[in-house]
Amino acid sequence: METAVSSSSQCGYSYEEYKETADWLLAHTEKRPKVAIICGSGLGGLAELLEDKNVFQYEDIPRFPTSTVPGHAGRLVFGRLQGCECVCMQGRFHFYEGYNMHMVTYPVRVFFLLGVETLIVTNAAGGLNGTYSVGDIMLIKDHINMLGFAGQNPLCGHNDKRFGVRFPCMSDAYDRDLRALTKQTAKEQGCDNFLQEGIYCMLAGPTYETIAECRVLQTLGADAVGMSTVPEVVVARHCGIRVLGLSLITNKVVTDYESNERANHEEVLKTTERRTQDLQRLVSHLINKL
């Protein structure tokens, strides 16, 4: 027998549905986080820094999607980092997994209802900028929403004013003060020699980019490319949550037809293993300043 598709999977969720999830979490933990961290591929180790943890499997949380990608553990972790109460997603949801934009961004509005004020998003990305090296951390200053160009925007549909305005501004998507604080922290921690700042472009995936596509993205001004992050940022800004974005450059994109290089997920995970401790140290000391 065929299973009926719920209206929420097609048209988004109601305020009451988001609140049901938030209320369930508030009833199951005493933590009241002000900072949320979304961990990209292989970067879930950030959650291990938290102390006094409460851990929830995604499948145990009402209405939460589940993560299907290697390198994404699929756990929501509450705890304290540098004395600050945080919630950390060990694994995010992607459009290419078959989730629509409302499902991909579901946790962000739940975080808003939990009282989160700052969102830190991390991802693994391919380097389009020729000056970048594998292992660099790119501070995201802006993004190119290619899925948005194609009409896949998480704010499409009914707008609930309890979350935000109908037409939110995105020219300040990535908080200027948080970026300045990150640069200062990176210098103090000796990470500034591999910290870059640039523009992130999101494609749908799950295929890696063709050579022609990479050249187009370079022409558009993108410095790094990935398959995530932008939808969560859009919804966070709609809710008035300030955002800091960090991309770990895990591979250099191929732009030469004579090259034998091939992008692959195993390479991405190996690079994140090498740079994870530096990224963890940077985020930890940054939260201490918040």
CATH code of the domain in which 106 resides: 3.40.50.1580
Angle at 122 between CA 114 and CA 104, to 5 degrees: 60
Q: What is the dihedral of CA 184, 189, 193, 194, to 10 degrees?
A: -100
Amino acid making up residue 177 = D
> Is the residue at 241 inside a domain?
yes
> Is the residue at 2 inside a domain?
no
> Is the residue at 98 inside a domain?
yes
Give the residue, 108 or 12, on which the prediction is more confident: 108
Residue-averaged pLDDT of the chain: 89
Q: Which domain holds residue 270?
A: 7-289
> Is the residue at 1 inside a domain?
no
What is the structure's pLDDT at 59? 92
CA 145/CA 66 separation, integer angstroms: 24
> Is the residue at 178 inside a domain?
yes
> Is the residue at 92 inside a domain?
yes
- Per the CB < 8 A criterion, the answer to whether 241 and 94 are in contact is no
On the question of pLDDT at 268 being above 70, the answer is: no
Query: In Å, what is the CA distance from 140 to each residue of 94, 193, 212, 282?
Result: 19, 16, 24, 15
CA 159/CA 155 separation, integer angstroms: 7
Show which residues are catalytic: 41, 72, 94, 96-97, 124, 227-228, 251, 265
> Is the residue at 160 inside a domain?
yes
Query: In Å, what is the CA distance from 107 to each residue of 38, 89, 120, 194, 206?
Result: 10, 9, 13, 31, 21
Number of domains in the chain: 1
On the question of pLDDT at 184 being above 90, the answer is: yes
135-178 confidence digits (pLDDT tens): 899 999 999 999 999 999 999 999 999 999 999 999 999 999 99
